Amino acid sequence: MTLAATTPAPRLELPPLKIGRITVDTPVILAPMAGITNTAFRRLCREYGGGLYVAEMVTSRALVERTPESLRIISHDDDEKVRSVQLYGVDPVTVGQAVRMLVEEDRADHIDLNFGCPVPKVTRRGGGSALPWKIDLFTSIVQTAVRESSKGDIPLTIKMRKGIDDDHLTYLDAGRIARDSGVAAVALHGRTAAQFYSGKADWSAIARLREALPDIPVLGNGDIWSAEDAVRMVRETGVDGVVVGRGCQGRPWLFGDLQAAFEGSDHRYRPGLRQVADGVYRHAQLMIETFGDEYKALREIRKHMAWYFKGYVVGGELRAKLATVPTLEVLRELLDELDMDLPYPGVDSEGPRGRAGSPKKPALPKDWLLNRQMDAVQTRDIAAAELDVSGG
C-alpha cells in the first residue's frame, strides 16, 4: 500500500496510555462495534498500527449462560497482546457474575462496561446510554464490576455518552462515580442518546470531563475520521487517548495513520483501488476463519463493502453485486472487474461513514426520567431486562 507524505506534523507529546497494569504505547482504542470488531477486523486493524482493540459488546447474561455466540464474541487470537472485552448489563448481580467468570477463567486482560449504546432495543430496557440516569443502579453495577475485576488485577473501564438528551445529562456525575468506584479509565462519546450518531460530537463536553477527573485517564470518542482529527481532539480537550469507531469502518489502515500522527510522522495511507480490493479479500478470508462458515462469513462482510469503496469509482451495478456477494470465489471474480490502477480518490473516500440516524426521542422504560433513583417496579423489572442484546 502506498504511503503519502503530507505537510509535516509536529510530534504530539502524549505519553503512553496507562489503564491499570496495561500500557498502550499508541493511545488509540478501537471502539467495540457489534457485528464489526470481531477477531478478523481486529487483526486487520492491528496489522497497521498500535492501540487497544476491543471485542464486540457481549451481554452479561448470555456470557453467564455460556451461549456459543457469546463465547465466540469474547474469543481472541493467540497473538492479541491485550484481550479486551466489553460487557453490557443492567443487573448488578449478573454483571458481577460475568466479570467473575472472565477473571476466574482467565478470558480477559481488560474489561469495559457499556453505558453508551443508544440503540432502542437497549435503552428501552434501561441499558446502555439510558442507565447512568439511575445513579443507584449505575453505582451498584460499577462497584460490583470493579470489585470482581480487581480480584484478578484486571483493569475495568467504562464507555458512556453525555446523557439521554440535553435536558438529562449524566456524564459528569457518572464520571465521578466511576472514578470513586475505582475504574481505571473513562471514555466519553460526545453525543447524547437522543442524537444517536447524528449532528456533531460535542468535544467541549469531553474537555469538561477531562477537567473534572484529573486523577484518571479520560478518553475522547466521536467524529474522529482522520489522524488529524485525533490530534485536534487531544489538543482541544486534553484527553489521554482517543477511541475510534465508525471512522475505521472500511479503513483499517486508519490505525497506521493514527500511529504515525502520534509519533509526529507525516506519512498517511493513501490506498489505490488495487490495495483496497486486496484488503477486502483478506478481510473475507479472515472472516471465514473467524466463523468457520463461508456463507455466514460472506454474509457478514457485505455491510463492509460500501465503507471500503466509499469515494472510489466502482459503478452501481458492481456495487450492488458486492453488497450481495455469496462466496469467496464470486468475491474474487467481482473484485477482478475493478479498474485496479485507479489511485486514491482523496477526500471523497474520507469523512463520515455508516448510518448516522437522526435525532429522536430515546426509547426508555416507563417513568424512567421521573427521578434519578430506581423505584420498586423498575427494580423488579430490570433483572428481567437482562436479555441478550449482543451481536447487532
Q: How far apart, in whole angstroms, are the C-alpha atoms of residue 1 and residue 72?
A: 31
Active-site residue 45, yes or no?
A: no
Q: How far apart, in whole angstroms, are the C-alpha atoms of residue 365 and residue 377?
A: 10
State the angle between helix axes of 294-301 and 328-335 in degrees (0 to 180), rounded to the nearest 10: 40
Q: How far apart, in whole angstroms, are the C-alpha atoms of residue 250 and residue 311?
A: 11
Neighbours of 222 (CB within 10 A): 27
Distances (CA, A) of 266 to 6, 109, 248, 256: 5, 33, 19, 11
Q: How far apart, in whole angstroms, are the C-alpha atoms of residue 352 and residue 329?
A: 31
DSSP string, 249-281: TT-TTHHHHHHHHHTT--EEE---HHHHHHHHH
Q: How far apart, in whole angstroms, are the C-alpha atoms of residue 213 and residue 218?
A: 7
Q: How far apart, in whole angstroms, are the C-alpha atoms of residue 354 and residue 305?
A: 11
Residue 370 has, within 13 A of its CA and on its CB side, a CA count of 7
Backbone phi and psi for residue 312, each to the nearest 5 degrees, phi listed first: -90, 150
Interacting residues of 334 by C-beta distance below 8 A, sequence separation 6+: 318, 321, 322, 325
What DSSP element (H or E) covers 380?
helix 376-384
Catalytic residue among 99, 117, 122, 374: 117
Q: What is the DSSP letter of 51?
A: S
Interacting residues of 329 by C-beta distance below 8 A, sequence separation 6+: none
Residue with cell 469531553: 206
- Annotated catalytic residues are 117
